[in-house]
Chain A
């Protein structure tokens, strides 16, 4: 099995005693830096993988800039109401029914603010993010609201007319049979025209009403506000775009923490089991066969469920007294316990093979300690497997988070793609796809990028992998 990496820097430099010719040849073939490694060069030649890697870097950068204070997006920004409920994105108009209920909502909200004991300050406090009432003078607002209500009455009349026209046509169709309709189409045509006209009148009235409302609560022109409404709002009027972006942080955090710890744990256990054999090997194999005998979803449910209700000791620095269920720790624990098995298996097999190779024998013969051989020779030579596994586990973590969140055992207290998809479940039946679409699209891009990168990693570093 050809090894893509130099086994250790020591070996490369220890070749100085042979004649110059050999040294020169060795020097010519020796990789000079990270980007000269054959595997890395093979990876960089795969253009799609490089693009995918760039996308992953962008996602990571976004996640870090949200995580590091002051934070690109604050948690308050994703939980506050920025608009009406279930507004579509890209400035598209909602369904007529929803537009009417949006107008109704604004009118009743403003009305509520006016009726408080101190209308001036409640008007000042009221608003959907930056979208506020045009004035804080109660008299002015009252007048405007009167105009809006007039338009609303006119709209109600138009709706009543439209429904009358519809009823008339339906009544006509009910009384008469198909043969008669065919014989005298003119009356039906007239009735249908009346329905269309009433419909148009209704729409015109609705637009007038929306014009008034735009004066009552002008839509801010700022880019920041437009960005928030870019992908619409969810049922509670929160920005779908901000939530989807904030979820990058949740996903990267869960993915990175769990895949990193799982890979380190699995790699070390696997290397130790494969290298030492004997009792250690038996113990590790027993442990992972035991855990993998149960579908991992069941472990996830049991662990996430069990750990959730434990409350943290009061003297913990960061989450004093908070139940563990409100942190991400149950999710981490559940994922790590089940995820370390994959890398452990692979690394164990590789370590068993490496153990009998010449460079391990020579390291042993010069008196290197077991620990040193394990950590300096065995583990680094399985590093490519660890990287491949880490990217596979990252994807696994993101997808498992969605399932746990759907079952109510996952992320709490912050948005995640799983929570968005779960929330969107009922919206889809009503034909509102913005929230599920946004969460799916963001997740799809990240997961696809990881899938492409892990494929390319396998192509470049794993000699056994077939492409």
Chain B
């Protein structure tokens, strides 16, 4: 297994290099210098800015500096100890990339992890109900609703979710159950003192972990909207997976030997449907990390998606490159993990 994992990691290195290189090339299609300067900048100013931003050097040098913990100049190679540009300066805010990325990870996760877990369990359950009643009215109704849900834009779900869940509900019950903007960390950042890193609370603050009481108010509504949106796609997918399994011989055998229907569905069928279910969940993992950009924008949650969007549109390349590189690593790791998980849930799978 370790040999297999190691081989997979080696195999994925060119993919990782490709992602970062492709992104770096794409971002340099437009000369970023002009965005950083006013229109009537002189040649000298432009050249100086280019040196300051470090984009005067060949692309491959920039690429190597990004990937390896080194810095290259006339005097040779220097050890910097940080990879993927975490210690670079942001071009948009006076801060290092790490300081911008760090507080935005947890808000994203606090939104998308509950949504992923909830929607997976719900849609597997609904898919099971639908498949068990295949062809009957309940199955038809569920499939019909799934298709309807798939045909409405995500944005419309968000806008109406906000209107009814926050605005209308607040008027109906007299107090604000769900808020449409804001995010509460465990404590406000200004409370943070330099030594706080040592305490648990300080650590939670550094990473902008949501407060337990603030979470339902700010994050539950977007989580519900996200679950409703995903339900349409996932239910249909899991239903077809389960239907496909239910025509296999082992199900017929189980029924023939007199297994109760519940046991057949849960013990035999669901176990064998684990592989596609795991694949689907693992495929969505990178999206979980970047968060639901739209939800973050609409509910003003300072997550990774919103950070990435703000910094892309403000031509902040260091932050963009770092976030994309991290996402790529997560994607590759989740791919490898998927294969290992296959072997864990299904003894027939051998990693070789």
Q: Which of A152-160, A291-299, A345-353 contacts B (4 or more CB under 8 A)?
A: A291-299
- Cβ contacts B15-27/A at 8 Å (1 or 0 each): 1101100110011
User: Is there contact, CB below 8 Å, between B148 and A295?
Assistant: no
Q: Which of B59-67, B88-96, B100-108, B325-333 contacts A (4 or more CB under 8 A)?
A: B325-333
Is the C-beta of A101 less than 8 angstroms from some C-beta in chain B? no
Within A412-453, the residues touching B (CB, 8 Å) are: 417-418, 421-422, 424-425, 428-429, 436, 440, 443-444, 447-448, 451-452
Nearest chain-B residue to A306 (Cβ)? B29
Task: A447 to B147: give the CA distance in the assembly, Å.
Answer: 10
> Among the listed A306, A406, A465, which residue makes an inter-chain contact with B294, where contact means beta carbons less than 8 Å apart?
A406
- Cβ contacts B140-165/A at 8 Å (1 or 0 each): 00000001101111111001101100
Most buried by B among A293, A310, A403: A293
Is the C-beta of B219 less than 8 angstroms from some C-beta in chain A? no
Task: A441 to B45: give the CA distance in the assembly, Å.
Answer: 53
Given A295-B287, A305-B312, are A425 and B159 neighbors across the interface (CB < 8 Å)?
yes
Task: A298 to B306: give the CA distance in the assembly, Å.
Answer: 11
User: Is there contact, CB below 8 Å, between A295 and B327?
Assistant: yes
Is the C-beta of B309 less than 8 angstroms from some C-beta in chain A? yes
User: Is there contact, CB below 8 Å, between B153 and A440?
Assistant: yes
User: Is there contact, CB below 8 Å, between A302 and B244?
Assistant: no
Is the C-beta of B272 less than 8 angstroms from some C-beta in chain A? no
Within B16-45, the residues touching A (CB, 8 Å) are: 16, 18-19, 22-23, 26-27, 29-30
Which residues of chain A come closer than 8 Å to B167, judged between CB atoms?
A: 429
Is the C-beta of B279 less than 8 angstroms from some C-beta in chain A? no
Task: A61 to B293: give the CA distance in the assembly, Å.
Answer: 35
User: Is there contact, CB below 8 Å, between A294 and B27?
Assistant: no
- Closest Cβ–Cβ distance, residue A287 to chain B (whole Å): 8
User: Is there contact, CB below 8 Å, between B151 and A448?
Assistant: yes
Interface size class of B (residues with CB under 8 A): 35 or more
User: Is there contact, CB below 8 Å, between B150 and A451?
Assistant: yes
Which residues of chain B come closer than 8 Å to A422, judged between CB atoms?
A: 155
Is the C-beta of B290 less than 8 angstroms from some C-beta in chain A? yes
User: Is there contact, CB below 8 Å, between B159 and A403?
Assistant: no
Given A290-B22, A436-B159, are A466 and B244 neighbors across the interface (CB < 8 Å)?
yes
Which residues of chain A come closer than 8 Å to B287, judged between CB atoms?
A: 295
Given A421-B156, A428-B159, A440-B152, are A303 and B26 neighbors across the interface (CB < 8 Å)?
yes
Is the C-beta of A172 less than 8 angstroms from some C-beta in chain B? no
Within B151-188, the residues touching A (CB, 8 Å) are: 151-156, 159-160, 162-163, 167
> Among the listed B151, B247, B328, which residue makes an inter-chain contact with A293, where contact means beta carbons less than 8 Å apart?
B328
User: Is there contact, CB below 8 Å, between A294 and B153?
Assistant: no
> Among the listed A293, A298, A444, which residue makes an inter-chain contact with B152, where contact means beta carbons less than 8 Å apart?
A444
A: number of interface residues (CB 8 Å): 43
- Closest Cβ–Cβ distance, residue A453 to chain B (whole Å): 11
Within A171-185, the residues touching B (CB, 8 Å) are: none
User: Is there contact, CB below 8 Å, between B18 and A290?
Assistant: yes
Task: A452 to B236: give the CA distance in the assembly, Å.
Answer: 13
- Closest Cβ–Cβ distance, residue A235 to chain B (whole Å): 15
| Chain A interface, >50% SS class | helix
Which residues of chain A come closer than 8 Å to B19, judged between CB atoms?
A: 290, 293-294
Which residues of chain A come closer than 8 Å to B328, judged between CB atoms?
A: 293-294
Is the C-beta of A402 less than 8 angstroms from some C-beta in chain B? yes
Given A406-B294, A428-B163, A429-B167, are A302 and B23 neighbors across the interface (CB < 8 Å)?
yes
> Among the listed B156, B244, B290, B320, which residue makes an inter-chain contact with A295, where contact means beta carbons less than 8 Å apart?
B290
Within A345-365, the residues touching B (CB, 8 Å) are: none
- Closest Cβ–Cβ distance, residue B280 to chain A (whole Å): 15
Which residues of chain A come closer than 8 Å to B153, judged between CB atoms?
A: 399, 402-403, 417-418, 421, 440, 443
User: Is there contact, CB below 8 Å, between B163 and A302?
Assistant: no
Task: A115 to B324: give the CA distance in the assembly, Å.
Answer: 59
Task: A447 to B150: give the CA distance in the assembly, Å.
Answer: 8
Most buried by B among A298, A310, A399: A298
Is the C-beta of A286 less than 8 angstroms from some C-beta in chain B? yes
Most buried by A among B19, B22, B155, B297: B155
- Closest Cβ–Cβ distance, residue A140 to chain B (whole Å): 46
Which residues of chain B come closer than 8 Å to A286, judged between CB atoms?
A: 14-15, 18
User: Is there contact, CB below 8 Å, between A444 and B308?
Assistant: no
Task: A421 to B162: give the CA distance in the assembly, Å.
Answer: 14
Which residues of chain B come closer than 8 Å to A289, judged between CB atoms?
A: 15
Task: A403 to B158: give the CA distance in the assembly, Å.
Answer: 12
> Among the listed B14, B16, B293, which residue makes an inter-chain contact with A297, where contact means beta carbons less than 8 Å apart?
B293
Given A301-B312, A421-B155, A429-B167, are A451 and B29 neighbors across the interface (CB < 8 Å)?
no
Is the C-beta of B240 less than 8 angstroms from some C-beta in chain A? yes
Nearest chain-B residue to A458 (Cβ)? B240
Which residues of chain A come closer than 8 Å to B162, judged between CB atoms?
A: 428
Nearest chain-A residue to B327 (Cβ)? A294
What would 30 A/B residue contacts be, using CB atoms closer than 8 Å?
A290-B15, A290-B18, A293-B19, A293-B327, A295-B327, A297-B290, A298-B308, A298-B327, A301-B312, A302-B23, A302-B27, A303-B26, A309-B30, A310-B29, A399-B154, A402-B153, A403-B294, A406-B294, A417-B153, A418-B153, A421-B153, A425-B159, A428-B159, A428-B160, A428-B163, A440-B156, A447-B150, A448-B148, A451-B147, A466-B244
